[in-house]
């Protein structure tokens, strides 16, 4: 069975202002960096638990 995992970027100042970011490279704020660290830890735990991926696709944006 194919499994797809989607992870959205963490919070930015533009999220707080309810502005559309699109392809603008708005940096994460402090909360967004904490959210990204949590997501990374959860993904690392999944891999340690035996999960794996055949491919990973990521945006070139820094956020």
Range of the domain at 29: 1-35
Q: What's the confidence (pLDDT) of residue 3? A: 82
Q: What is the value of pTM for the model shown?
A: 0.84
Task: Pick the closest to residue 63 from 37, 32, 27 (CA basis).
Answer: 27
Residue 60 Cα distances to 45, 46, 47, 57, angstroms: 24, 24, 23, 10
Evaluate whether residue 62 is within a structural domain: no
Evaluate whether residue 59 is within a structural domain: no
Evaluate whether residue 1 is within a structural domain: yes
Q: How confident is the model at residue 27 (pLDDT cuts 50, 70, 90)?
A: very high
Tell me the per-residue pLDDT of 32-47, one tens digit each, with 9 for 90 and over.
Answer: 999 999 999 999 999 9
Binding residues: 8-15, 63
Evaluate whether residue 4 is within a structural domain: yes
Count of CB atoms situated within 10 Å of the CB of 50? 6
Evaluate whether residue 55 is within a structural domain: no
**What does the alpha-carbon distance between residue 14 and residue 32 come to, in Å, rounded to a whole number?**
11
- The domain total for the chain is 1
Binding residues for substrate: 8-15, 63
């Amino acid at each position: 069975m194919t499994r797809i995992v989607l992870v959205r970027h963490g919070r930015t100042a533009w999220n707080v202002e309810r502005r559309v970011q699109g392809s603008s490279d708005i940096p994460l704020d402090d909360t967004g960096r904490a959210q990204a660290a949590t997501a990374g830890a959860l993904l690392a735990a999944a891999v340690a638990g035996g999960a794996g991926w055949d491919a990973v696709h990521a945006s070139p944006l820094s956020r």
